Chains A and B, each alone.
Chain A
Amino acid sequence: MRRGWVAVAAATMVVLTACSSQGGASSSSAATAAADPAKVAGSITVLTNRTDQIKDGSLKKYADEFATVYPNVKVKFEGLTDYEGETKIRMNTENYGDVLLIPDNVSITQYPTFFAPLGDSGELSKTYNWTDYSTVKGKVYGLANFGTATGLVYNKAVWKQAGVTEWPKSPQEFIDDLKAIKAKTQATPYYTNYKDAWPLQKWTDNIGGPSCNQSGKDKLATTAEPWAAGQDLNAIDGLLYTTVHEKLSEDDPTTTNWEKSKTLLGTGRIGTMLLGSWAVPQMQAAAKAAGGSADDIGFMPFPQATGGKLCTVLQPDYKYAVNVHSKNKEAARAWIDWYLNKSGSAAAEQAVSSVKGSALPESLKPFETQGVTLLLGQTQENAATISRIDKGSEIGLNTPDYRQKLVDIARGAATGDMNSYFADLDKKWSAAQKTVAG
């Protein structure tokens, strides 16, 4: 019995001493740029998801170049393999680096709690694209380094072998093309990457593409049934459903492998995958490593034309922000400014730089010649509401689970059909919408 009491006493003691102080953000001063680089001093930590760039030394190279301009700033990088998960947990403390990428699942309304304002949106939006993705009450809290186009990575040789030379302009044409690939080549026409799951999330990025509508995403906040016929999500998820239902994807989606899929696409054993234009250089590298040709890798927009023209959305990548608790905000800001404007990292990634007036990367040149409409991002007025509806309904537009289920239904591994599942999603969406509005 005595042993029990001592344990309780010890527990109480630890409870009392370990009570964390949940102090509010004391300093909310803005992270502004200094005029004179020599006067900026301090040591900053940059959290990054690019562990590969830490390993191959390219981030170090950027830091060295940065040091020649800002001699008194020391930049340290901290690579996180599970970036989203770890950063979000660390954000419960004050110690989450000086510069960090805003995790996707932090709601925009919380930005002022965690990040220092970088400036007025009116001012910054003159220089940078996609500032509205992180603007709260006229202040910008994060700047993207680059953006990427949404669409499909494909193997040109495979498509050519199937006798298709034109980009499909409707979902039906796309399905027919995939059928031709299945009939005339050895390749798997489409690869879902179901097991690694996050590639299924990428389908969400196409919202606005089918209807070629700059505010396609904002519309979700007021649409009661986003999966009804004619809506973007109906076109997007319908295409995925039909592709799988017509058996145009891999036999067993549950054992797919992302790393292997790069080589498979590069060497022509996979025809197409829906990803972003960021995937093109990776596929090219994999193709070359496997003895194929980098020229075989192509990129096409979502196959639904509006008024005869295809349309694609340019999405920002992660947005860089300054920790509101940072002691070296000036140095942090200096790094962001330099990295976005001077480092040339966006061009090195073959991505669309967020600095206005930058040239399109090589992989998107065909988009220009084919006259594809490029939507410079989606308007973000209702982003917070949409996120609340999405999480309340437990659908998870930015999680892969509901699309995994869609694939399961399409291949007959789960009960239901496309219409019943869409009706189910619509029901959940409108129910959550009512609680958010009311």
Chain B
Amino acid sequence: MTALQKDRKRGPAPAHAAPAAPTKKPALRRRTTRRHRWFTPWLYLLIPLTLLVAFTYLPILDMFGYSVTDWDGVSPTSENVGAANYTELFTRPELFKVFLVSGVYLVASFVQIAAALWFATVLSFDTRFRNLFKGILFFPYLVNGVAIGFVFLYFFQPGGTLDSLLNLLGYHGRLMWLGDPDLVNKSLAGVSVWRYMGLNMVLFLGAIQSIPGHLYEAASLDGANRWQQFRHIIAPSIKPIISLSVILAISGSLAVFEIPYIMTGGANGSQTFVIQTVNLAFKFDKVGLASASAVVLLALILLVTWIQRRLVPEERVELS
């Protein structure tokens, strides 16, 4: 989820590079300025906007359309059933039970943010090999999600990497990391923390590095230790990024998909809302109902974000 949102934000970037008018000769400049009509930047935006509309907004519109039909996914015709899909969705509470699984991921994502914050702070000071560590910590985020799923399947196997590792540390118990219904979601959430922690860390790191160095100098002259510097300089300065991370964490944990889908296929009580939606659409041919639940998920995420924005209003942080 986070990756997607990031990509979308990156969409209209070429616009900034656009109006680089040549400025060699005054006469030439006059002509070019005349040719640069108001729509010139939009021409550059055309491609990213078309992509955005074609692959984000149109599908969402279509999804709204499907959610009021009983389309089965292949047949060329479908009936309009009005709000029947939504009624069905809300009269079957078992369809919302899967959000309990999201709770595990939510808790894990706070662990993730805390760890990311810690690493980012440590690595923003003069630490030996800090660039190497930055690279190591960010690396998992660059690996393809499918590959991660397969790697961790071996990792969690009985007698697999994790068990051998624990053996070395003197723990000889046999835990079924994916087979035990109490453990499966925690294991999967652990994978997701491992994967996305680096991204959070890089975001925090970027924000921390924008803090002017003289603030630390002044603080250490006043005798502030590292914790006090973090508490009173770093944390307040990067507050917007932290609150963004929390929003992404919550919406991300409501929409967990790829890691559990690849590793367990939603078996053994690891089914999430999105996996359930995919099953409804592609296993039981209820594309209408599945679209309706996707709409509900979208609404839910918007709602959570809105509430959060109300509770923690956006504010400009002044750094001086």
Contacts and interface: CB of A to CB of B under 8 A. Distances in A.
A6 B53 contact: no
Interface in B153-176: 153, 156-158, 160, 176
Given A91-B74, A106-B74, A408 B268 contact: yes
A253 interface: yes
B179 A253 contact: yes
Contacts of A25: 76
Interface centre among B158, B266, B268 (most CB of A within 10 A): B268
A175 B46 CA distance: 67
Nearest to A85: B282
Nearest to A255: B157
Interface stretch (A9-17, A50-58, A63-71): A9-17
Contact of B267 (A85, A91, A394, A401): A401
A408 B178 contact: no
Interface in B230-288: 264-269, 279-280, 282-286
Interface stretch (B22-30, B54-62, B194-202, B306-314): B54-62
Contact of B264 (A22, A85, A92, A254): A254
A11 B59 CA distance: 12
B42 interface: yes
Interface string B78-111: 0000000000000000000000000000000000
Contacts of B58: 11, 14-15, 18
A382 interface: no
Given A7-B49, A22-B76, A413-B181, A255 B158 contact: yes
B184 interface: yes
Contact of B286 (A88, A197, A391): A391
Contacts of B153: 195, 255, 257
Contacts of B53: 7, 10-11, 14
A14 B180 contact: no
Contacts of A10: 49-50, 53
Given A10-B50, A254-B178, A254-B179, A15 B73 contact: no
A14 B50 contact: yes
Of listed A114, A254, A396, A413, residue having the most chain B CB within 10 A: A254
Interface in A355-402: 391-392, 394, 396, 399-401
A24 interface: yes
B75 interface: yes
A14 B50 CA distance: 8
A80 B137 CA distance: 36
A265 to B, nearest CB: 18
B74 A92 contact: yes
A11, A22, A400, most chain B CB atoms within 10 A: A11
Interface string A1-43: 0000011001100110010001011000000000000000000
A404 B267 CA distance: 6
Contacts of B75: 110, 113
Given A14-B53, A197-B265, A251 B158 contact: yes
Contacts of B178: 252, 254-255
B215 to A, nearest CB: 36
Interface string A110-131: 1001100000000000000000
Contacts of A85: 282
Contacts of A254: 176, 178-179, 184, 264, 267-268
A414 interface: yes
Majority DSSP secondary structure for residues of B touching A = loop
Contacts of A194: 267
Nearest to B286: A391
A105 interface: yes
Contacts of A399: 279, 283
Interface string A397-424: 0011100110010010110000000000
Contacts of B179: 251-255, 411, 413
A249 to B, nearest CB: 12
Contact of B54 (A14, A92, A392): A14
B176 A110 contact: no
B284 A396 contact: yes
A11 B57 contact: yes
Interface string A193-222: 011010000000000000000000000000
A408 B181 contact: yes
A110 B181 contact: no
A22 B71 CA distance: 14
B287 to A, nearest CB: 11
A394 B42 CA distance: 48
A84 to B, nearest CB: 9
A24 B77 CA distance: 9
Contacts of B284: 391-392, 394, 396
A86 to B, nearest CB: 11
- Give the top 9 A-B pairs by smallest Cβ distance, nearest first: A254-B178, A252-B179, A404-B267, A255-B157, A413-B181, A254-B179, A399-B283, A391-B284, A252-B158
19 contacts: A10-B50, A11-B57, A14-B53, A15-B61, A18-B54, A22-B76, A113-B76, A195-B264, A197-B267, A253-B179, A254-B184, A255-B178, A396-B283, A401-B265, A401-B266, A404-B267, A405-B267, A414-B181, A414-B268
Interface of B: 42, 49-50, 53-54, 57-58, 61, 72-76, 153, 156-158, 160, 176, 178-181, 184, 264-269, 279-280, 282-286
Given A11-B53, A110-B75, A394-B286, 17 more contacts: A10-B53, A91-B74, A114-B74, A195-B265, A195-B267, A197-B267, A253-B179, A254-B179, A255-B156, A255-B160, A391-B284, A391-B286, A399-B283, A401-B266, A404-B267, A411-B179, A413-B269
